[in-house]
Structure formats: structure tokens, C-alpha cells
Structure 1
Amino acid sequence: MSGSAHTTLTGTRRRGPRIVPRGARHTRPEGLLAAVAIAFTLAQLLLVRPGMGLGWDETVYVSQVGAHAPAAFFSAPRARGVSLLVAPVAAWSSSTPLLRIYLAVLSGLALFLALRTWRGLFPPRVLALAGALFASLWVTLFYGPQAMPNYWVAVGALAAVACFLRARADRSDRAALWGLAASAALMALMRPTDAVWVTLPLLVLALLGRPWRPGGMLLAGLVAGAVEWVIEAYVSYGGLARRLADGSAIQGGLGWHLAIIDQVRSLGGRALCRPCTGALPNPLLTVWWFVLPLLAVTGLVVAVRAGRRTATLVPLVCGATAAFPYLFMIGYAAPRFLLPAYALLALPVAGALTHLVTAPSRAWRPVAVALVALGLAAHLALQFVVLEHTVDRTTASHRGWSRTAAELHRLGVRPSCLITGHEAIPIAYYAGCSSAATAGHNANSTEEIIARTARHTPVATLVPAGSRPPSYARHWASVAFGGLRIHYAVPVARR
């Protein structure tokens, strides 16, 4: 390998990531990494039941390409990456279990490929442990088989950082360059703003040092992934600045918001903590979150001593910038927001844990191994408890939407139909109807249009029990159902 492989990212020598030549690798990591990926896929299928049903955001993404229901309103912050991801299944089948299986297998394959890009930058056992740590988090298992973007940003970030380091170390590594562009495009296709935060340190390093090609490929990948989002901004949202402003407004107004405690509250299994109030989870469920940065810094110290400073520092910094907006710039929390940070920080954490069980003297090594093994076992058990609770609660919620859809069909509100009001978007998807809102983040209609539609199309308005319906629905028939009152109008010709 050329001497440039031992330069730092700023051009100085002897401090860069050391990539082991292929002929010198005595232990091939593919088997270990494949085992981690397969275990991750199987765990998703066993623990996150394929029949869980689609969540609110999932119905929006899937409806864009599926035939089960008309496309739901696509708000400004969303990107089309997830819809493209699920299209091979959703375009011809409305089976949620089939979609879950497809995504579980695909997410396991993506994890394997992302970890594989780190070959030679970390020992195989560190890579396997890093993959296992990330894959065993309840939030990773929960969102791996879901039609949501955050997991895909995470694996894209993991691959992008490795490809960037490899391309900087070896100018002849074309696979790393193309891998960098592809992984950057994946991130930007899923969540353009997240892609910028993740790659910000890489863009800075690209400006500081040579060669220029990794930086150019990184920018090309980001542009390729985000170009559709930018074009759509001008076609449908009034321009890029307007779309960014609307996205900020939907997220409560981006600015200085200390959301650390909000994220801690979400660790008990709250998929969306907005408004984020209530008691904090049991400290046993959150202690890993506070230990994580400490172990990551410890891993950096270990890496500096071992001569792997750059390969550890860069993912650590990228993980920090990925987490920054969700810890300090929004006024609510969702655990999935931090998946890219968890994926990147898993590498230095795995390095720290590996050092703890191998570095002590022979007399103390059994004690260190026992303590680390005990800590990991307790951590896995607690992650399983949170995952099981979250899956049960989510499944019950989705079944409630399905029962409401069945009641709407019984009342005569069948496709083609229109649903408005409380939780209209997911219930409309389950019922095979369109959805509409006259106010809020998903506003896409007016009361006059809805009233006019009711003259020739079945329309239902859902309001919480005890609440007043909109003026256009006050004279419609109504029934109480599952904590809701359904106000509905079915034209005589459709009954």
C-alpha cells in the first residue's frame, strides 16, 4: 500500500488510520459480521412482530407508492427515500407482514455492508462488537423493520465515514470513493438535513487537506441524494427557503432548545415525546445512555495509544454532530433521532470494552471480563424489556386504528372516501380512504371543500369523545366508538 495510507486527514504523516493490507489479514471479519447481521435480522422478526401494523409516519411513506390507499399529505420535512425503499413490495402488495420481513432482511444486509467497510480500520472483534452493540439497542431493533428513515441514515453514516477514511488513506481505492458517494446519497435521500449534520466534520476535513477527490465524491453524493427534495421544494412548497422554514415550524421552531432530558424521557419506550412531560424512566433503563459518551471517550484514549486516533476520532465527532440538533435545537424528542449517533459511537465504545477485557494483567483479566460480561448481560436484558413493552403498546395502538377503520366500513364509509379529524392520516390509510386537514402541520384542505365533497363521497370526521365537531359535520349522523365520536355522511347513492 502507498505511503499516503499513513497520512492524517490534514496531510501530516504517521497519525492516520492504518489500513491493513489484504495479504496481512490473518482473521477475516466477514464471518463475524455476517453472524451479527443475521442475528439482528432474526431478532427483528422474532421480537418486533411482522403483524404489528403500520405507524402514523409509515402510512404516509407507504401510501405514496402503494395502492391500498390514496397518497397522504407529504409535509415539508419529509423526503422520498423511504417511499422508494419500500416500493419493491408496497407497489404490488398491501401486506404489512411481508413489508416487515423485507425491511428486516434489508436492514440486516445493510448493517453487514456498513460494518464491512471498516475492515482494516478496526480489528474484526471490535467491528463485530460494535455491530452487536448498535443492533441490540431496543430502538435499533424497533425501527429496523419499519418504513422510517432514521435507521437508513445511521447505516449510511457508518459506511460514509469508513469510506471517507479509506479514500483519504489510499488514493487508488475507487471502491471507497464510490461507496462514499453512494452512502452520502442514501443519507440525503432519507433525510437531507441529517445528512448535512452527519457529514459536516468530513466536509471540514475535506477542505483542510488533500487529496480533493473524497470531498468531491462526498458532495456529489449529497447533491445526488438531495436533488429531488430540492426540486420538489420549488415545485410544491414555494422554494427551498420556504420548505426549510416550514420544516422548522413543524418541528416547533429550530433554535436553542435543551432537549437532553426530553431524550432521557423517551428512552423508556416513548416513540414520540411531544410534548415531553411526565416522570423520568427508571434509572436502570437510562444508565447506558450516560455511560455511552464516557466509554466513547475512553475508546478514543485507547485508540490514541494504539495509533488509531483518526479512525476513532472521526466517527466520534461525526456522531456528536449528528446528535447535536436533536439534543440542543428542537423542543421535543424521539429516540430514533439519535440512531446515526449510536451507530457511529458504537465503534469507539466497542474499542473501549475490548481494551477493558484484554489490557489488564493476567491476574485481573478474569475480573474485568466478568464485570464487562455482567454489564452487557444486564444491558441486553433491559433493552429487551423496553422493546417488548414498546412493541406491545404500539401493536395495541395500531389495532385500535384497524378497528376504527372496520367501524367506518360498517357505517358505509368505504373507498373512495375521505377521513378528517383526530388521527385521520393513519385511520384513513387503514380504511383505504383519503385524509384531509384544515389546520395544523398537515393542512391540505378547507371546510368548504370537505363539505362539498360530502355531497357525493362518503366522509367521516373523527373527534375525541366530548369534543365538538367542525361546523360542516354538526348535522351529520354520529356514533361513539373507542373514545371517539364518528360524524359521518354517506350519500344516498353510496349506501
Structure 2
Amino acid sequence: MTRPLHTVGLHPTDGHEPALAPATGRDRKGQWWLAAVAGAFVLAQLTVVRPGMGLGWDESVYVSQVSSHAPASFFSAPRARGISLLVAPVAGWSSSTPLLRVYLALLSGLGLFVALRVWRGLFPVRVLTLGGALFASLWVTVFYGPQAMPNYWVAVGALTGVGCFLQAQTDRTRRGPVWGLAASALLMAWMRPTDAVWVALPLLFALVVLRQWRHARLLIALAGGLVAGAAEWVIEAYVRFGGLSQRLSEGSDIQGGLGWHIAIGDQLRSLSGRSLCRPCTGAMPNPVVTAWWFALPVLAAIGLAVAVRGRRTPSTALPLACAVTAAIPYLFLIGYAAPRFLLPTYALLAIPVADALVWLVTAPGRAWRPVAVTLVAVGLAGHLAVQYAVLAHTVRRTTADHETWERTSAALRRLGLRPPCLLTGPSTIPIAFSAGCASASTDGPNANTDATGIAQAAQRMPVAVLTTGATRPPSYARGWRLVRLDGAVYAYIAPTALRDRVT
């Protein structure tokens, strides 16, 4: 039986479209606006980030799990295999990075469209269009959309899942939103199980604690999706790490020990385009770069006030609550920062913030409306300019780094390092993947062997130790040939590689 909308606080009035309105020409036109946002997002990825940008460190780890181009890199405790399976349809048969980038760009655009489409009826199309544009124009969203990284997909799953939750509460006879919530929870947990739990906490709280929100099918769908998505990760915890608690403990150690860490300053420093801020030192970015970050909570509060006034509080309060819980571990429980960590939070804030902006340009009286429209338009134009300036800078720097790795791997191939082969030392994972070699480390978060294992490998295959500068080699590499490769990168080449080259 359909419950009245007021029992869960969802009102399709106050300027918002009916949640259950039949499809009309206006509805179809609204879908085209959402599709236009998704299409522009894909175009930005292909033209600004560009498919030719090589794979990064973490990408090499994820792609190597399903690629035949190189042996699988060491898979540490915090990682989940969702993104590896997502890229498998391309990476499983092709080593082309541009092809993989195009595939992911198209898929990310489709994911954004679906996530926005789920919210139809909860907010006007103009709000959803602006919200999608705000999220899709952030430099971090455009930068990571075509990358083999899980954070964007957690964001898409979070936005879709909360929308499905609200739609299911609006009309309890509909099964589509229930299945949508299950699929969204599965996607999030598939990508990053711990992030999925943090995002889902307000939903679980509402379903279990708040009587007017209790919905047995939704609770089963949410819990079932989380369990199904995390199942492989949990099973692997027992197979490879000695149990779930042990995997969580190792993951905490790799991340520097989870606990009380105020990482707000670290996140601010990362907004200048630092893909990983660890250690996160140095001066704060120009205030122009970080202004949007401080505007988010203000606009979110305005959006919530507008929702309360319009008697549609849940449609705004719930995504805001999920945005807060999604941000907690990365603002207060981890000692470093990466801008991609907060992508789920940005996605969940986008629609309430857009609602606030629309209200700001429509609510004032006729005399003040031109002023409000001008201020918001100038602010959005400046914000877009800053985002793309940071994006262009980040793409240039990242592309240059990846090209350096490519040159290093090409130099190693000329020296006889051809598959099967092994590389060890700092920054070897992306270089090894590019060269088609295995990678090894004797210490740190990617430790997967010891000195004896590397020495033994050098007896049967080409092996090289990469260093930054002509530093003293490990004991097993003394007597190996020292070669300068590119810039400050040096390699100690095992005699096996040189002998194979001569042969």
C-alpha cells in the first residue's frame, strides 16, 4: 500500500515536480538536459585529461590484476578488486591505455546520467542539471573520471543509492528504487567496502531507528547490497591476510595508523592539484583555489533551510547526512590526504548546493533579483575558471611524470629487461607494468619478497634495481652494472639481463 508522502516528509509541491508524474514531453526534455551534462562531462575528460595520459601508480596495480600485459602487482590490504573487474572488459584483452581511458570516460558519463536521473521528481530538472554540472566540473571529478580508480564510482553509487532510497520511501509500491538501492550499495562495497559503510550509516540509521522510515525491503536491499559487494573482499581477507580483523589492521598500518587525525588542512593543500598529499607539507594554496571548498558548507546549510521551509526536509537532509559521514574518515581519521577521497561527499552535496543556488537567484524580490543573478553567475564563472586552471596544471604535471616512467621502461627494454623480468626499488610498480615486468619490494606497504627472493630471481630472469641517484645498492646487487636511465633515475642491472641482451 502506498504511504502518504507526508509520513516521510517528502512533498512533491513547493515548486518541485511530482515524484510520480507520468512521462511527458517536458519530462523527456528534462532527461535531455541531464544527458547534456553527462555528455559535456565525457567531452571534458577526452579533451582536457586526454586518453594519452599513461597509467598512474595505483592504476597500474588495479589494471595489472586483469591484464595479460604484465604480472599482477602486489595487492595490499586496503585495496578492493571492484575497479579491476570494471576495467577487465578492455584491460583483459588490450594493453592500450587510450582505449581504456575512452572506455572509462564513456562509462563515467553514463554513470553520472543514471545517478542524476534517479533524482527526477525529488528536485526540479534545473536543480539536477546544475547539481550535475557542479559535480562534473570539479577538477578532481574530471581528472579521475577516466582513470582506473575506485573513488568516482563510490561517488556515483552514493548519489544513486540515496536517490533510490528517497524514491522508495516516497512510493513503497515501486520495486525499481529498491533494486536500485541494492545495486548502488553493491557498487560502493565492490569498489571500497569501508567507504560504502560510512556512506550507508545514515540510511541504516533511518531504516532501523526512525519509525516513519522503517521499510523492510529497503533494509534487506541495502544490507544485501553491502554484503554482496564486500563478499570477495572479506573472503580474500581470510585467504590472504589471516582474517577480517587482520586485514583491517594491516590496512590501517599502511595508511599510517587510523585514529584521530585532523586532515582538513591536508585536504586543503591537496586542492591545488596534488594527487597524493603524503606527507602533506608546504604552504596553503591561493585562497582563490580553496574558496569553493569553504562555500560548500554555507550553501549546503542554505539548501537545508530552503528544504525545511518548503517542508521537504528529507530530500536534502539525507544526502547531506551521508555526505558528512562519507567525509569523516578522510577529514578526521587519516593522517594524509588525496582530493579523490572526498568525491562521494562532493557528489552528495551537489544537489542540495544547486538547490540553494537556484533559490538564491529566484527568491529575492524583483529589485534584488538581477543583483543575485549577477553575483551567482560571476561566482560560478570564476569557480569554473579556477577548476580548469588547476585541472590543466595537474594534467600537465601528471602526464610529464607518466612520460618519464615510459622513457625509463623503454630504456630498460633496450638494456635487456624484457618479459619475464623483475624490477625493484622506489617507483617501480608503474615502470614495471609499462615494461611488462613483475615488481617486487622488500619493505613498505608493497613488500612482497625479501633480498634472497630477488637474488634468486636474478639467476633465472633479467632483474634491475631502480634508485634515485647513484646510491649504494642492496647487498645482492653489488657488482651489478650501474646505468643512468632518465634524469636522476639509475638502475643496477643484473648480469642475466646483460647476458641475455648479448645473446
CA displacement 1:73-97 (0-9 Å, x = unmatched): 0000000000010001001111000
CA displacement 1:143-167 (0-9 Å, x = unmatched): 0000000000000000000111111
Tell me if the contact between 1:457 and 1:490 (Cα under 8 Å) persists in the aligned partners: no
Query: What is the DSSP-based 3-state SS (H/G/I as helix, E as strand, rest coil) of the residue aligned with 2:483?
Result: strand
Tell me if the contact between 2:82 and 2:191 (Cα under 8 Å) persists in the aligned partners: yes
RMSD: 1.2
Residue 40 of structure 1 corresponds to 41
Q: Which amino acid aligns with 1:69?
A: A
Query: What is the DSSP-based 3-state SS (H/G/I as helix, E as strand, rest coil) of the residue aligned with 2:52?
Result: helix
- Counterparts of 1:159 and 1:87 in 2: how far apart (Å)? 23
CA displacement 1:157-210 (0-9 Å, x = unmatched): 000001111112221110000000000000000000000000100001110232
Residue 15 of structure 2 corresponds to none
1:328 aligned to 2:322? no
Residue 267 of structure 2 corresponds to 263
Greater Cα offset, 478-487 or 44-53: 478-487
1:4 Cα offset (Å):
3.3
1:467 Cα offset (Å):
2.2
Correspondences of 1:1-400 after superposition (within 5 Å): 2-8=2-8, 15-16=9-10, 18=12, 20-23=19-22, 27-28=26-27, 29-208=30-209, 209=211, 210-400=214-404
- Counterparts of 2:4 and 2:474 in 1: how far apart (Å)? 68
Residue 486 of structure 1 corresponds to 491
Residue 439 of structure 2 corresponds to 435
Residue 452 of structure 1 corresponds to 456
Query: What is the DSSP-based 3-state SS (H/G/I as helix, E as strand, rest coil) of the residue aligned with 2:464?
Result: strand
Tell me if the contact between 1:17 and 1:165 (Cα under 8 Å) persists in the aligned partners: no
Q: Which runs of 5+ in 1 are unaligned?
A: 9-14
Tell me if the contact between 2:481 and 2:495 (Cα under 8 Å) persists in the aligned partners: no
For normalisation by structure 1, the TM-score amounts to: 0.97
Residue 470 of structure 1 corresponds to 474
Flag the 1:493–1:267 CA change in 2: closer, same or farther, 3 A.
closer
- Counterparts of 1:306 and 1:4 in 2: how far apart (Å)? 17
Query: What is the DSSP-based 3-state SS (H/G/I as helix, E as strand, rest coil) of the residue aligned with 1:460?
Result: strand
1:17 Cα offset (Å):
5.1
Q: Which amino acid aligns with 1:27?
A: R
- Counterparts of 1:101 and 1:150 in 2: how far apart (Å)? 18
CA displacement 1:52-107 (0-9 Å, x = unmatched): 10000000010111111110000000000000100010011110000000000000
Residue 11 of structure 1 corresponds to none
1:466 Cα offset (Å):
3.9
1:332 Cα offset (Å):
0.3
- Counterparts of 2:422 and 2:20 in 1: how far apart (Å)? 61
1:124 Cα offset (Å):
0.6
- Counterparts of 2:455 and 2:406 in 1: how far apart (Å)? 25
Residue 12 of structure 1 corresponds to none
- Counterparts of 2:206 and 2:341 in 1: how far apart (Å)? 25
Tell me if the contact between 1:65 and 1:90 (Cα under 8 Å) persists in the aligned partners: yes
Flag the 1:450–1:129 CA change in 2: closer, same or farther, 3 A.
same
CA displacement 1:322-360 (0-9 Å, x = unmatched): 001100000000000000000000111000000011111
- Counterparts of 1:316 and 1:27 in 2: how far apart (Å)? 29
1:27 Cα offset (Å):
3.4
For normalisation by structure 2, the TM-score amounts to: 0.95
Tell me if the contact between 1:7 and 1:169 (Cα under 8 Å) persists in the aligned partners: no
- Counterparts of 1:24 and 1:103 in 2: how far apart (Å)? 31
- Counterparts of 1:63 and 1:45 in 2: how far apart (Å)? 23
Tell me if the contact between 1:413 and 1:490 (Cα under 8 Å) persists in the aligned partners: no
